[in-house]
Amino acid sequence: MGIRTIGVVGAGQMGNGIAHIAALYGYGVVVQDIAQAQLDDARATIEKTLARQLRKEQITGSRVVETLERLRFTTTVGDLAEVDLVIETATENASMKYEIMETLSKVVQPEAVLATNTSSISITAIAAHTERPDRVIGMHFMNPVPVMKLVEIIRGLATSDETYEEVRTVAERVKKTVVCSRDMPGFIVNRILMPYINEAVYALYEGVATVPDIDTAMKLGTNVPMGPLSLADFIGLDTCLAIMEVLHDGMGGDSKYRPCPLLKKYVEAGWLGRKSGRGFYNYYRE
Ligand code: CAA
């Protein structure tokens, strides 16, 4: 029968982006978060992005209305009981993800697929916290979800071929390009991206250059849309640190993945990047 309805757990920047494109491309979507304020923000962000897409004539007015009609927001996990696929987008913290998946495994109909948008944690380990490891898979979107074309799909040890095919179909229907990664720390994107960002923080820490010069060097010198420190602020420094820690632990403490002490200090200070108003740059006046 295939997947027709999607639950999104967590209404942060990844969750609202995934909910946006899922509803835009015809899925009924239930967004669940424990915080009502987060749900309100998610709805506002989706409405704003849809309005921008309408203004640019990328979508019609009736498509905006239909998309919003397909979205439901709730603080109750039980409201996910009937969906065909759940995509979990909670904070990058293994024990939190295990707990959420344990709950979902009990609450959501047994034949539903449980996907996780983890950017680095083992899918096999997450799946082991459910009663249906064959129906668990990694579906890693990039930020900002409506713009970025990629989805990494990661199969755990027990993921079935059917689960993989169903999830791949969803990713293609929302117009993403799929790449497949083995279930190794950081998968493809973060295995390569995070050591690059971490190295930029080391360059700053060791006084190689200033924040703007490091970013300008990489932006103009390698033709990327954002410099690495700007990108780290965009992703969230807590997320960057969490991924570096998964890489470091998962690779047996290999020193090439050692998180830069300056990155740790920023996170300790609560300087998490754009979302907290301060990171390598100041965003208070934005
Ligand atoms: N939501 C929806 N649309 C957005 C958006 C958002 N949050 N931010 C920007 N856009 C859209 C704009 O509307 C604009 O659309 P059109 O082309 O249709 O006009 C387009 O994106 C370009 O935006 P802007 O002109 O405002 O700004 P820009 O050209 O500087 O682009 C950017 C912004 C798309 C974020 C670009 O800087 C970029 O691609 N940066 C790199 C992003 C990146 O590397 N993401 C991956 C992070 S890693 C990750 O996500 C994995 C992980 O696990 C950590």
Q: Which CATH number does the domain housing residue 76 bear?
A: 3.40.50.720
Q: Are 216 and 110 members of one domain?
A: no
Residues in the chain: 286
Tell me: the pLDDT tens digits for 118-146? Answer: 998 999 999 999 999 999 999 999 999 99
Q: Residue for token digits 């029968």?
A: 1
Ligand 1 within 6 A of 45 CB? Answer: no
Q: Which CATH number does the domain housing residue 235 bear?
A: 1.10.1040.10
Probe residue for ligand 1, chosen from 41, 142, 147 as the CB with the greatest number of ligand atoms within 8 Å:
147
Residue 194 lies in domain: 190-275
Edge-to-edge order in the sheet of strand 5-9: 71-74, 28-32, 5-9, 85-88, 113-116, 136-141, 150-155, 177-181
Structural contact between residues 104 and 127, judged by C-beta atoms closer than 8 angstroms: no
Is residue 152 flagged as an active site residue? yes
Q: Are 176 and 217 members of one domain?
A: no
Q: Are 39 and 163 members of one domain?
A: yes
Token pair of 21 as six digits: 């494109």
Asked if residue 139 is part of any domain, the answer here is yes
Tell me: the pLDDT tens digits for 30-59? Answer: 999 999 999 999 999 999 999 999 999 999
Residue 28 phi, psi (nearest 5): -75, 130
Hey, which residues does 116 pair with through a beta bridge? 88, 138
Q: Are 145 and 196 members of one domain?
A: no
- pLDDT of 179 > 90? The answer is yes
Is residue 162 flagged as an active site residue? no
Q: In which band, very low, low, confident or very high, does the pLDDT at 286 lie, cut at 50, 70 and 90?
A: low
Q: In which band, very low, low, confident or very high, does the pLDDT at 1 lie, cut at 50, 70 and 90?
A: low
**If you average pLDDT over residues 213-221, what whole number do you get?**
98
- In the chain, the number of structural domains is 2
121: part of which helix (H) or strand (E)? none
b (16+ CB within 10 A) / e for 85-107: bbbbbbebebeebbebbebbbeb
Q: Are 206 and 132 members of one domain?
A: no
Token pair of 9 as six digits: 């757990």
Q: Of residues 105, 181, 190, 230, which has the active-site annotation?
A: 190
Q: Of residues 16, 105, 119, 230, which has the active-site annotation?
A: 119
- pLDDT of 251 > 90? The answer is yes
